[in-house]
Amino acid sequence: MNGELSRRRFLVLGGLGVAATTSWAMGRGAPAGAADLAEPPVLRSHRGRLEVTLVAAPGVRLAGRDTQALGYNGRSPGPTLRVRPGDELALRLTNNLSTPTNLHTHGLRVSPQGNADNPFVMVDPGASFDYRIQIPKDHPVGTFWYHPHHHGTTADQIFGGLAGALVVAAEPDLSVTRERVLVITDTTLTKDGHVADPGGMGRMMGRRGDLVLVNGEHRPTLAATTGTTQRWRIVNACASRILRLHLTGPGLHQIALDGIYLHRPQSAGVVLLSPGNRADFLVSPEAPGRFELRTEPRPPEEDNGSGPTNAPAPKPIRLATLAVTGSRRRAPSLPTALPAAPAITGPVHGNRKITFEMTMGGMGLGGLLPDGMGMGDGGMAWTIDGRSFDPKRDDQKVRAGDVEEWTIANDSPMDHPFHLHVWGFQVVADSSNNPVSGTAQDVVMVPANGWVRVRVAFTGFTGRTLYHCHVADHSDAGMMATVNVS
Q: Would you tell me which residues interact with Cu ion (CB under 5 A)?
A: 416, 469, 471, 474
Binding window for ligand C2O (CB under 6 A); candidates: 75-83, 389-397, 429-437, 464-472: 464-472
Residue choice 233, 419, 455, 474 for contact with ligand C2O (CB under 6 A): 419
Q: Which listed residue (91, 168, 414, 466) binds ligand C2O by CB under 6 A?
A: 466
Q: Which is nearer to ligand C2O, 324 or 483 (CB)?
A: 483
- The Cα-based distances of 303 to 149, 276, 473 in angstroms read 30, 22, 21
Q: Which is nearer to Cu ion, 251 or 450 (CB)?
A: 450
Q: Report the residue number, 102 or 359, with the smaller CB distance to ligand C2O.
A: 102
Calpha distance 479→386 (Å, rounded): 9
The smaller minimum CB distance to Cu ion, of residues 225 and 412, is found at 412
82 vs 106 by CB, closer to ligand C2O: 106
Identity of the residue numbered 98: S
If one asks whether residue 278 binds ligand C2O (CB under 6 A), the answer comes out as no
How far is Cα 214 from Cα 187, in angstroms, rounded to an integer? 11
Give whole-number Cα distances, 396 to 87, 344, 358, 416, 441, in Å. 31, 21, 20, 20, 20
Residue 78 as a binder of ligand C2O (CB under 6 A): the answer is no
When asked if residue 421 is in the footprint of ligand C2O (CB under 6 A), the reply is yes
Q: Of residues 75, 231, 468, 474, which one binds ligand C2O by CB under 6 A? A: 468
> Residues near 205 by Cβ (< 8 Å), separated by ≥ 6?
307, 308, 309, 375, 414, 473
Least distance CB 402 / ligand C2O (angstroms)? 21
149 binds ligand C2O (CB under 6 A): yes
If binding is defined by CB under 6 A, does position 106 make contact with ligand C2O?
Answer: yes
| Spatial distance between the Cα atoms of 134 and 114, rounded to a whole number of angstroms | 12
From the list Cu ion, ligand C2O, none, partner contacted by residue 241 (C-beta under 5 to 8 A by kind): none
Distance CA 116, CA 475 (A): 21
Residue 213 binds ligand C2O, judged by CB under 6 A: no
| Rounded-to-integer distance, Cα 320 and Cα 215, Å | 10
The backbone torsions φ and ψ at residue 302, rounded to the nearest 5 degrees and listed phi first, read -100, 0
Q: What is Dmax (Cα atoms) for the chain?
A: 65
Nearest partner of 254 among 277, 276, 238, 275, judged by Cα: 277
Please tell me whether residue 104 binds ligand C2O under the rule CB under 6 A.
yes
The residues, ordered by sequence, that sit 6+ positions from 484 with a Cβ below 8 Å of its Cβ are: 394, 396, 397, 398, 463, 464
Instruction: Confirm or reject binding of residue 276 to ligand C2O (CB under 6 A).
Output: yes
- 106 contact, one of Cu ion, ligand C2O, none, CB 5-8 Å limit per kind: ligand C2O
* Angstrom distance (rounded) from CA 381 to CA 387: 9
453 binds ligand C2O (CB under 6 A): no
Name which of ligand C2O, Cu ion, none residue 471 binds, using a CB cut-off of 5 to 8 Å depending on partner kind: Cu ion
For residue 189, the 8-state DSSP code is B
Distance CA 222, CA 30 (A): 9
Q: Which is nearer to Cu ion, 244 or 416 (CB)?
A: 416
Question: Which CB atom, from 419 or from 474, has the smaller least distance to ligand C2O?
Answer: 419
Partner from ligand C2O, Cu ion, none contacting 419, C-beta within 5 to 8 A by type: ligand C2O
Task: Select 253 or 421, whichever has its Cβ closest to ligand C2O.
Answer: 421
Q: Given the rule CB under 6 A, which residues bind ligand C2O?
A: 104, 106, 147, 149, 276, 419, 421, 466, 468, 470
